[in-house]
Chains A and B, each alone.
Chain A
C-alpha cells in the first residue's frame, strides 16, 4: 500500500516519461528533458478501431525489427488507447518528434525502424499527409482534426499505457483521490461538483453534483457507486475509448464518489462486447488494489472502497439506470418504476448513484483544477467538453472532444473534413435511437444539452452520425425503430406494442403503400409512447420519427403521394434504368442479372424490364461505363 508521499515519488519519477510524449520546442530540447531510460517512445494504438485494422500484427513486427537493429535499450513501444482518428488506423506516433504515421502497413515497419528509430530520419512518405508541409513535420495538434479539439476526458487516451498504473500516476493520477481524502469533507466534494456545472454525459444531462447530494443525504448501512459502461447506442464508442485508453481515471473517480456519498462498494457494468476494455479494467483494478488505491484504509485515512466488474449480456435497455441495477442483481434487465429513485432505493434496495464513464473521467481534474476551471469551458448551462463519436458519411471518422458550444458545422466540416465524394450534407443524427436528425439549416447551432433538445434531438451519449444526400430519412427513422422494437424489454405495453405499430406504419410508407393519414397516426402514437412508457427507452423511441417528420416531411410525402424515394434507398420505390447514351452494349449486365431482366443486342444499348427486375443492384455494380442509374 502506498502513502501520499510514495505516490508523489512515483509521479516525479514518471512525469518526465509521460511529458516526453508532447510537443517540444526542438528535438535537442526534448532529448535534454527527463525522459526516463528511452530515447524514443513509439506509441501504437491498441484501441478497438486500430486493433481491427491490424495494429497487433504491427506491434509484433515492430518488436521484432527493434530487436534486429539492437535498439531495445533505446526505444520503447507502448500500446495505448484510442488517438481518435480511427479512419486512418492503424496509427503509430513516435516521440520526441511527434511523427504521426497513419494507415501503417506491416511491410513499412523495417523502413521506419531502420531510418527513423535507428538514424533519426523521419519517413515523411508514410506520415499522415496533413502533418507534412514541404520539408517540415507539423505537430499533430495543428491538423484540422485536432486543432479545435480540447481534451479533458480523453486527455490520457493515446498518451499513456493503460496497463501501467505508474504512467497514470505520472499524469497526476490518484492525486485527486488523495486530495479529497486528506483535505476535503464529503460535502465540499459535492459542492465542488455542483459549482463546476458538470452534467451527466450518458444522455439526459442531469447535474452530477445533485445526484451525489441526494444519495449522500440518505442514511443507510450500505450505499453503492455504479458506473454505467453499457454503451449501447449504435455508433457511439466514447466510453469504450476511455476504458481502453485510461481505465484508472474511472476507478479514481468512483472512489471519490464513494467518499462523497458514503459508499464502500462500486460496480462497473460494462458491455461484454468490449473485450479489450474488460481486460484493461481487470488489469487496472488489480494494480489499483496492489498500490492501495482500492481496498482498505486508502492513503491511511481509514476510507475503504472496492470495485467489482459486472458484464452485460447484450441488452440495450440495461443502459437505463434502474434496468442496469436490476441486471447487476442477476435478473432480467427490466426497468423499475421511479420513484423510489436510485438515490434512495437503488442497487439491492440501497442508496445508489450511477454515473456514466465519460462523466467520471472529468471528475479527478475538476477536483485538482477547481470548479471554476471547468465552469470556464462551454456554454451557460452546459459546462466543459463533450466527446463525440463521429461516423457515417464524413471523411475523418473517429473520436473528437470539443468544448460545449462548438457548432455542428465546425465538427463536420473542419474537424471531420467534410463529406466524402463532394456529396451534400443532409443531416446529422445525435443521441442514437433516443435522439433525432438535425437538418442542414441548423448547422450553425452551438451544441449543448438544451439547444439539442430545442431542435428536437438530444445529446445522448455522443454518437454523431453524418448523413448525405444518399440517405433516406424515412429509412433512417425505420432503422432506429427496428432497433427499439428489437430492444424493447416488453415490460410495459406502450413501448412493446407502440414501437411495433409505428414500425409497421413506416414499413408501409417505405413500400409505397402509405397514406397521409398514416402521418397523423404516427404523431398520435408518438405522443402516447412519450407520455406513457415506463422508462426512457420507450419515452424517447419516437424521437427519430418525430424529428424526421419535422424537418423532412417532404420526403415522407414523396414516398406516400409520388411513390418515390428521393434518396434512392427504398427498394420498392426504385427503378433501375439504363442510359442509352452511355451504354456500349457490352452485355455484362445482362449476363450478371439473376432474373434475366435485361435485354439488348451486343453493341446496342440495353434496357431493363421493370416487371422482371428484382432490384438487386448487381448490374449497376458491374457496369463499367456508369450507364445504369436508379430513380
Chain B
C-alpha cells in the first residue's frame, strides 16, 4: 500500500476556494457529480487534503466519510502533495520484463523515499504507474510531462541532475 497520508500543512488561497465553489455550483445538480467535482478540485489544489474534502462536503451536502471513501479508493486522488518534479515509473508488463523494477528500486534508493512519497525539500515525488501505453519504448518513466524511454539504470543520475 502506498503512503496516502499528508504530513505537509494545508495552505489554500482565496482564489482556489473561489474556483472550487464555482465548480461545485456548476456540477452539483448533475447525476453522479462527486467524482468530476473531486477531479476538478484536485486540478485546482494539486491534491485533495481533508480540508478540501470538507469544503466539498459542506457545499454539496455529501457526507465527508463518503468523500473520504472515494478519495482513498482511487489511486489518482492524492491526499498528500506532489513534488515539483513528479517521477512516475511504468511497472506495466512490457516495461517490467524489460527491467523497470530495477529502475524503480534505484530511484527509491537515490531519493531516499518510497513510492507515494515526496522528498523533504519538495523536489521529487515518486510513484509507480500502470502501463502508459508506450510499450515500444520500454522501460519507461515520466518526470512531469517528459517521457524517458529505453532506460538503463545507469542513466538515472544524469536524468535526475537535470531537475533542480
- A234 CB to nearest chain B CB (Å): 4
Given A234-B130, A312-B74, A313-B39, 11 other A-B residues pairs in contact with their CB atoms under 8 A: A49-B133, A49-B137, A53-B134, A53-B137, A86-B137, A234-B96, A235-B93, A272-B39, A391-B136, A489-B73, A621-B152
Q: Which residue of the partner chain B has the closest CB to A54? A: B147
Q: How far is the CA of A236 from the CA of B94 in the complex (A)?
A: 10
Contact, CB under 8 Å: B73 / A329: no
Docked pose: A315 CA to B70 CA in angstroms:
11
Give the complex CA separation of A429 and B94 in angstroms: 11
Q: Whole-angstrom distance between the alpha carbons of A392 and B132 in the complex?
A: 14
Q: Which of A281-327 contact B (CB under 8 A)?
A: 310-316, 327
CB of A447, distance to nearest CB on chain B (Å) = 18
Expressed in whole angstroms, the Cα–Cα distance for A274 and B133 within the complex equals 9
Question: Across the interface, which residues of A come within 8 angstroms of B63, CB to CB?
Answer: none
Contact of A315 with B75 in the complex, beta carbons under 8 Å: yes
> What's the Cα separation between A87 and B130 when bound, in Å?
19
How many positions in chain B have a CB within 8 Å of any CB in the partner chain?
40
Distance in angstroms from A82 CB to nearest chain B CB is 9
Nearest chain B CB to A523 CB, angstrom units:
24
Q: Which A residues contact B (CB, under 8 angstroms)?
A: 48-49, 52-53, 86-87, 89, 232-237, 240, 272-274, 310-316, 327-334, 348, 389, 391-393, 397-398, 429, 432, 463, 465, 467, 471, 476, 479, 489, 617, 621
Choose, from B4-12, B18-26, B30-38, B117-125, the stretch at the interface: B30-38
Who on chain B is nearest to A237 by CB? B133
Check B14 for interface membership: any CB of A closer than 8 A: no
B7 to chain A minimum Cβ distance, whole angstroms, is 22
CA distance A489 to B73 in the complex (A): 8
B69 to chain A minimum Cβ distance, whole angstroms, is: 5
Within the assembled complex, what's the spacing in Å between the Cα atoms of A316 and B130?
10
How far in angstroms is the closest Cβ of chain B from A84?
Answer: 10
* A329/B31 in contact, CB under 8 A: yes
Which residues in B have their C-beta under 8 angstroms from that of A314? 74-76, 130
* B94 x A392 contact (CB < 8 A): yes
B93 and A392 contacting across the interface, CB-CB below 8 Å = yes
B31 touching A348, Cβ below 8 Å? yes
Q: Which residue of B lies closest to A470 (CB)?
A: B97
Top 3 closest pairs, chain A to chain B, by CB:
A313-B74, A86-B136, A330-B34
State the CA gap A86–B91 with chains docked (Å): 19
**Which A residues lie within 8 Å of B102 (CB)?**
617
Q: Which of B42-86 contact A (CB under 8 A)?
A: 66, 69-70, 73-77
Chain A nearest CB, measured from B48 CB (Å):
11
Q: Which residues of B contact A49 (CB under 8 A)?
A: 133-137
Pair A315/B74 contact, Cβ less than 8 Å: yes
When C-beta atoms are compared, the residue in chain B nearest to A471 turns out to be B97
B138 contacts A by Cβ under 8 Å: yes
- Check if B97 sits within 8 Å of A467, measured CB to CB: yes
A52 touches B147 (CB 8 A): yes
Pair A234/B39 contact, Cβ less than 8 Å: no
CB distance from A237 to the nearest CB of B (A): 4
Chain A residues closer than 8 Å to B73, beta-carbon distance? 315, 332-334, 489
Q: How far is the CB of B2 from chain A (nearest CB, A)?
A: 9
Q: Does B153 contact A (CB under 8 A)?
A: yes
| Most interface-central of A89, A235, A333 (chain B CB within 10 A) | A235
Taken together as a complex, chains A and B put the C-alpha atoms of A398 and B75 apart, in Å, by: 27
Q: B130 — which chain A residues lie within 8 A by C-beta?
A: 232, 234, 273, 314, 316
B113, CB-defined interface residue at 8 Å = no
Determine whether B154 belongs to the interface, using a CB cutoff of 8 Å to chain A.
yes
Cβ-neighbour of A235 out of B33, B94, B147 (below 8 A): B94
Which chain B residues lie closer than 8 Å to A333 at the CB level? Answer: 73-74
Check B92–A311 contact: CB distance below 8 A. Answer: no
Q: How many pairs of A and B residues are in contact by the CB < 8 Å rule?
A: 126
- CB within 8 A of A327: which of B35, B131, B135? B35
For residue A89, which residues in chain B have a CB less than 8 angstroms away from its CB?
136-137
Could you tell me the distance in whole angstroms from the C-beta of A431 to the nearest C-beta in chain B?
11
Known: A234-B130, A314-B74, A465-B93. A391 touches B138 (CB 8 A): yes
* Contact of B149 with A by CB under 8 A: yes
| Cβ-defined contact, A87 with B132, below 8 A | no
**Can you name the residue of chain A whose Cβ is closest to the Cβ of B106?**
A616
**B136 to chain A: closest residue by CB:** A86
Q: List B contacts of A334 (CB < 8 A).
A: 73
Q: Does B97 contact A398, Cβ atoms closer than 8 Å? A: no
Q: Are B92 and A330 in contact (CB under 8 A)?
A: no
Minimum Cβ distance to chain A for residue B144 (Å): 13
Taking the complex as formed, is B140 at the interface, i.e. its CB lies under 8 A from any CB of chain A? yes
A63 to B72, CA, bound (A): 45
Residue contact B135 to A332, C-beta cutoff 8 Å: no
A36 smallest CB distance to B (angstroms): 32
Pull 20 A–B residue pairs with CB atoms less than 8 Å apart, ordered by A: A49-B136, A52-B137, A53-B134, A53-B137, A53-B149, A86-B136, A89-B136, A234-B92, A235-B135, A237-B131, A272-B76, A311-B39, A312-B74, A314-B130, A327-B35, A328-B32, A331-B34, A392-B135, A465-B97, A471-B97
Q: How far is the CA of A429 from the CA of B97 in the complex (A)?
A: 12
Q: Write out the residue numbers on chain B whose beta carbons fall within 8 Å of the beta carbon of A53.
A: 134, 137, 147, 149
Cβ contact within 8 Å between B135 and A389: yes
CA of A476 to CA of B94, assembled, Å: 11
CA A613 to CA B34, docked complex, whole Å: 52
Which residues of chain A have C-beta atoms less than 8 A from B137's C-beta?
49, 52-53, 86, 89
* Interchain CA distance A489-B133 in the complex, whole Å: 23
* Neighbour of B149 across the interface among A52, A232, A240, CB < 8 A: A52
A273 to B92, CA, bound (A): 13
A479 touches B93 (CB 8 A): yes
Give the CA-CA distance A89 to B69 in the complex, in Å. Answer: 41
Task: Give the residues in chain A near B91, CB-CB below 8 Å.
Answer: 234
Q: Contacts A234-B130, A463-B93 known; A310 to B135 CB distance under 8 Å?
A: no
Q: For B32, B75, B96, B135, which residue has the most chain A Cβ atoms within 10 angstroms?
A: B135
In whole angstroms, how far apart are the Cα atoms of A348 and B31 in the complex? 9
**Which residues does chain B contribute within 8 Å of A397, judged by CB atoms?**
94, 135-136, 138
For A233, the closest partner residue in chain B by CB is B131
Docked CA distance A334–B73 (Å): 9
A311 / chain B contacts, CB cutoff of 8 Å: 35-36, 39
Q: A234-B93, A479-B96 are in contact. Are A48 and B132 (CB under 8 A)?
A: yes
Q: Which residues of B contact A272 (CB under 8 A)?
A: 39, 76
In the complex, what distance in Å separates the CA atom of A291 from the CA atom of B135? 37
The minimal Cβ–Cβ distance linking B115 to chain A, given in whole angstroms, is 11
Q: How far is the CA of A490 from the CA of B39 in the complex (A)?
A: 23
Q: Are A330 and B35 in contact (CB under 8 A)?
A: yes
Nearest-Cβ distance from residue B159 to partner chain A, whole angstroms? 15
Chain A residues with CB below 8 A from B96, complex form = 234, 479
For A47, give the chain B residue with the smallest CB separation: B133
Question: Which residue in A274, A330, A331, A465 is a CB contact (below 8 Å) of B94?
Answer: A465
A469 to chain B, nearest CB (A): 12
**A391 contact set on B, CB distance < 8 A:** 93-94, 135-136, 138
Shortest Cβ distance from A615 into chain B, in angstroms?
11
